[in-house]
Structure 1
Amino acid sequence: MRKYGLELLIGIVPVLLIFLIYAGVNIMPFLLIAILAGGVTFALMSRGKMTAMQGGKQRLEVSAASMSFEQIGGQERAKSELIEALDFLVRHEEIKKLGIRPMKGILLTGPPGTGKTLLARAAAQYTDSIYLAASGSEFVEMYVGVGAGRIRDLFKEARQKAKKAGKSSAVIFIDEIDVIGGKRDGGQHREYDQTLNQLLTEMDGIRSDEAPRILIIAATNRKEMLDSALLRPGRFDRHIGVELPDKKGRLHILNLHAANKPIDPSIDLERIASESFGFSGAQLESVMNEGAIYAMREGSELIQESHLAMAIDKVMMGEKTDREATKEERDRVALHELGHAIAAELVRPGSVSQVALSPRGQALGYVRHNPQQDKYLYTREFLDSQIIIALGGAAAEEIFYGGRSTGSRNDFEQAMGIVRTMVESGLTELGIIDANMMTPEVWAKVNRSILDDLMARTKGMLEERRQVFMDALDIVIREETISGDNFRELLGSLSKSA
């Protein structure tokens, strides 16, 4: 239809021009307008095609580096779920006899740095598939239809590369899928909607009896933002959580990244795994890498445990700074951190890993805590103790200076966050309540009630050890950094003498 319309237009325009010239009409303005309009249209179309081509070249590259599941640590449950899903692709004929429908898509969800991309690469290696990777942001352009075109090109390229390589399957990995797969709200985001619609169409067009077979693996850390049409069975059939590793997983990851590094045999990596509670796989890799850098700075042939301890501090809080504090500030910071450390040892003995006064990141000093074991369920008593530890610094300042400083700001934010957790978990005197229905006045009352009571308890505990503070102050300022074991020895000796 478009072809005949173009031919009709080509036939009419010359006749119309001849008629206008014969009638004595000046056609130059019309010609100029037509030439300008045609030029702009051609430029826009060319730009859109060029953008699509450039985007395709950037993302459609087959990864040459292989990655096996054995090289990924700390995600045993996620790996087992993923392998089970991939077996549907590997054992195609066997599952066909049982009438099982192969999966079209697998969604990996979890915090950043937990290994979702690595799992996708390992999936391609496990299934002996072509691996193509793309990011959700690569499909978004200001030109409507470009993203949809790139989706079509992605699936087309996957089939072509699999056939060319003689593979029976291809794995397409889309990172940050929430960029193009967000919930549709009927707004004006036509480009986003067209891109998502095209992805849904392509997934619906995947047939298990066609070769090469296509498997889509997507990753996001914001699953709640995805459109329901994308999450339904028949598209992303399996949702696999890739969470932060536990202590056993962290130890596995540390061992993997220590394999190619000269580690001192005396280093206890299990201790490092305990001290790195809450770290992702990417952060643990950074700890080992930064530890090697510290060893190189000191000219050491082996990576020592002190290097890894400094690396943990850097990953958690940033690099050391050159800020020089006055004597009054150093004394206040030392008493503040002693408040945290002494409170921690009183409510959770053995929890202090390090007390440091050296400025790092935005902090003038800090206390690093060592969880005795990974915890995922918390009682009211445990949360109260966490608040007491957080308020220890401000309580010490009030005891010795009669007031607080701005250094307690983050401590108070942490304490109020714990109070929110208590309320939402039904652990306060309010009982089971919908936190969204609480007014700011009620929140303020609950915060004041809990925090004032725990602040009074904290000040009472620390007031009884005023002499311990005074005796430890000079030692902490002189040493600047004290390990948890040395601090407990110091605390024990001073408590006996007091």
Structure 2
Amino acid sequence: MIKEISLGLALAVIIFSIVAGYNILPLVILALAGGVLYFIAQSRGLVKSFESSDKPNTKVNFEHIGGQKTAIKELKEALDFIRNYKEITLLGIRPLKGILLTGPPGTGKTLLAKAAANYTDAVFLATSGSEFVEMYAGVGAQRVRKLFKTAREKASKLGKNNAIIFVDEVETLGAKRGQNSSHMEYDQTLNELLVQMDGLKADESVRILVIAATNRADMLDPALMRPGRFDRQVKVELPDRQGRLEILKIHVRNKPLADDVDLNNLAKETFGFSGAHLESLANEAAIFAMRENCKQIHYRHFHEAVDKVIMGEKLNRRPSSEELHRVAVHETGHALICELLRPGAVSTLTVTPRGGALGYMRQHNEEEMYLYTKDYLENQIAVMLAGAMAEEQIIGNRSTGSANDFEKAFKTAENIIKTGLSDIGIVSWDNLSQDRKFKEVKKILEQQEKRVEGYIKQHIEEINNTVTLLLEQEKLTGDEFRKIINKKVA
């Protein structure tokens, strides 16, 4: 209505000026210039509108989030301060102003924020840190003010007492001040966020809670992390084996599974997977089933999907027969030492090119490990060196395909020294000379090379048999591989 009245008045002024004989060309030029500037401002995001759904209670509940029992428990405790506002005021408890969710990508931080809005019956506004940073001075601070204003207005309109503002990738907005000396816009935007959070009061008609998510908590400004702003830090870690099982059950609810699908075994094979990885895994398995015109998803589809999520899609390139033989020898070497040192660990052995690898050996963990012994780390080094040692023993020389293995082995050997597990005992890594570091790392690697060489010489026949079968089938399961080596191992 206001826009229509303004346009009518402007048109009336123009007509009156023309009739009166005034030169309106300067006014027209100014109007056009203003319109152009407004258009540029809109295209560059200077005029920002934060929207939320008229039904802010999303369909995401905490029951829909698997593998994060600890995070959910801690988050619920903080949210209960909002739900039970009257009770906490009797005890003189100050409601929380901010909750920081930290953890690796894909672990469900955004889902937790949406579930929090549903749990507290609050208006939910979502944004990201990058939306507040512009090259124009003052724009970011203005957007922060508008965000909090929009949250209050939206809650009042819907008759809500609570509003949750979710800021994803908050490290972009809340990075340590002073790092961008040539661009003070970053600091001004962060200062405004600090001021707005300080202005949040418990007795307001609309109580606002800020939930932020980041996987780089080390980058955040200390002023943002102090009590009174982000009072709680909730760690959202990668799920353990039981957590992965819960997540898999959630993502296969709407999928027809065959009788041979064992979710427990699948959870064991997906060590290190986040919730996002597991969702992609279930989706890719369904795609593989569709390609084969299957009405149900079989375990082989999930097994193939694990490889795709980890390594990527199969490549069209085909190595020469000589290269393919070398790759088969290399991966069989890895598998042999892995199986000898940790029976039952080999999951898949393949020479099918995926991503940046011509072949690979995948292993799974029987149980989650958070601490590593010297024996475990030395066994890992042995597995890493086994590919190159198998090439040397079977073919007679090594190749550049072991470069990544050597790099990982070198870092693991360094870790042995740093943690005081090497022969030189407890040391300060920074105070060790480069020559001493090199000699000790070389000593550890040479010990494992000799160890692996002895294993390979004892199992050359099994390696050759595995290579022959691998070149025929391109892929072997862990059980098929174990059948080949079981006689000699026994």
TM-score normalised by the chain length of structure 1: 0.88
Please give the alpha-carbon distance, in whole angstroms, between the structure 1 residues aligned to 2:121 and 2:184: 37
SS across alignment from 1:399 = helix
Q: Is the 8 A contact 1:60 1:154 kept in 2?
A: no
1:140 aligns with 2:133: yes
Counterpart position of 1:289: 283
| Aligned-partner residue type, residue 477 of structure 2 | S
Cα deviation for residue 469 of structure 1 reads 1.6
Please give the alpha-carbon distance, in whole angstroms, between the structure 2 residues aligned to 1:434 and 1:39: 68
Aligned 1:388-427 pairs, distance under 5 A: 388-427=382-421
Please give the alpha-carbon distance, in whole angstroms, between the structure 1 residues aligned to 2:432 and 2:156: 60
Aligned 1:148-297 pairs, distance under 5 A: 148-185=141-178, 187-297=181-291
Of residues 186-195 and 106-115 in structure 1, the stretch that sits farther from structure 2 once superposed is 186-195
Counterpart position of 1:7: none
RMSD of aligned alpha carbons? 2.2
SS across alignment from 2:250 = helix
Q: Is the 8 A contact 2:341 2:379 kept in 1?
A: yes
Q: Is the 8 A contact 1:52 1:150 kept in 2?
A: no
Q: Is the 8 A contact 1:114 1:242 kept in 2?
A: yes
**Please, which of 109, 121, 145 is the counterpart of residue 116 of structure 1?**
109
Counterpart position of 1:104: 97
SS across alignment from 1:56 = coil
SS across alignment from 1:177 = coil
Of residues 163-172 and 464-473 in structure 1, the stretch that sits farther from structure 2 once superposed is 464-473
Please give the alpha-carbon distance, in whole angstroms, between the structure 1 residues aligned to 2:404 and 2:53: 45
1:303-329 Cα offsets, whole Å, 9 max, x none, are 000000000000000011111111111
**Please, which of 83, 88, 111 is the counterpart of residue 95 of structure 1?**
88
Cα deviation for residue 39 of structure 1 reads 9.6
Aligned 1:335-354 pairs, distance under 5 A: 335-354=329-348
Please give the alpha-carbon distance, in whole angstroms, between the structure 1 residues aligned to 2:29 and 2:457: 83
| Aligned-partner residue type, residue 427 of structure 2 | I
Change beyond 3 A, Cα 1:153–1:209 = same
Counterpart position of 2:22: none
Counterpart position of 2:120: 127
SS across alignment from 1:133 = strand
**Please, which of 44, 65, 69 is the counterpart of residue 72 of structure 1?**
65
Counterpart position of 2:297: 303
Change beyond 3 A, Cα 1:443–1:41 = farther
Please give the alpha-carbon distance, in whole angstroms, between the structure 1 residues aligned to 2:68 and 2:324: 43
Cα deviation for residue 43 of structure 1 reads 6.5
TM-score normalised by the chain length of structure 2: 0.90
1:17-67 Cα offsets, whole Å, 9 max, x none, are xxxxxxxxxxxxxxx9xx99999899768745774554325x655656421
Q: Is the 8 A contact 1:136 1:180 kept in 2?
A: yes
Q: Is the 8 A contact 2:57 2:117 kept in 1?
A: no
Aligned 1:409-488 pairs, distance under 5 A: 409-488=403-482
SS across alignment from 2:368 = coil
1:187-227 Cα offsets, whole Å, 9 max, x none, are 23311000000000000000011111000000000000100
| Aligned-partner residue type, residue 352 of structure 2 | S
Gaps of 5+ in 2: 1-25
Please give the alpha-carbon distance, in whole angstroms, between the structure 2 residues aligned to 1:146 and 1:432: 53
Please give the alpha-carbon distance, in whole angstroms, between the structure 2 residues aligned to 1:74 and 1:388: 33
Please give the alpha-carbon distance, in whole angstroms, between the structure 2 residues aligned to 1:250 and 1:83: 21
Cα deviation for residue 131 of structure 1 reads 0.4
1:373-406 Cα offsets, whole Å, 9 max, x none, are 1111110100111111111101101112332111
Please give the alpha-carbon distance, in whole angstroms, between the structure 2 residues aligned to 1:441 and 1:134: 51
Cα deviation for residue 442 of structure 1 reads 3.7
Cα deviation for residue 149 of structure 1 reads 0.5
Please give the alpha-carbon distance, in whole angstroms, between the structure 2 residues aligned to 1:325 and 1:41: 62
Q: Is the 8 A contact 1:48 1:143 kept in 2?
A: no
Cα deviation for residue 438 of structure 1 reads 4.2
1:239-270 Cα offsets, whole Å, 9 max, x none, are 01100000000000000001010111331100
| Aligned-partner residue type, residue 172 of structure 1 | I
Counterpart position of 1:28: none
Please give the alpha-carbon distance, in whole angstroms, between the structure 1 residues aligned to 2:222 and 2:33: 39
Cα deviation for residue 358 of structure 1 reads 1.1
Cα deviation for residue 459 of structure 1 reads 1.1
Gaps of 5+ in 1: 1-31
| Aligned-partner residue type, residue 383 of structure 2 | I
**Please, which of 367, 374, 383 is the counterpart of residue 377 of structure 2?**
383
| Aligned-partner residue type, residue 88 of structure 2 | I
Of residues 239-248 and 418-427 in structure 1, the stretch that sits farther from structure 2 once superposed is 418-427
Change beyond 3 A, Cα 1:226–1:439 = farther
Could you tell me the percent identity over the aligned residues? 49
Q: Is the 8 A contact 2:52 2:123 kept in 1?
A: no
Cα deviation for residue 440 of structure 1 reads 4.0
Change beyond 3 A, Cα 1:340–1:102 = same
Aligned residues: 462
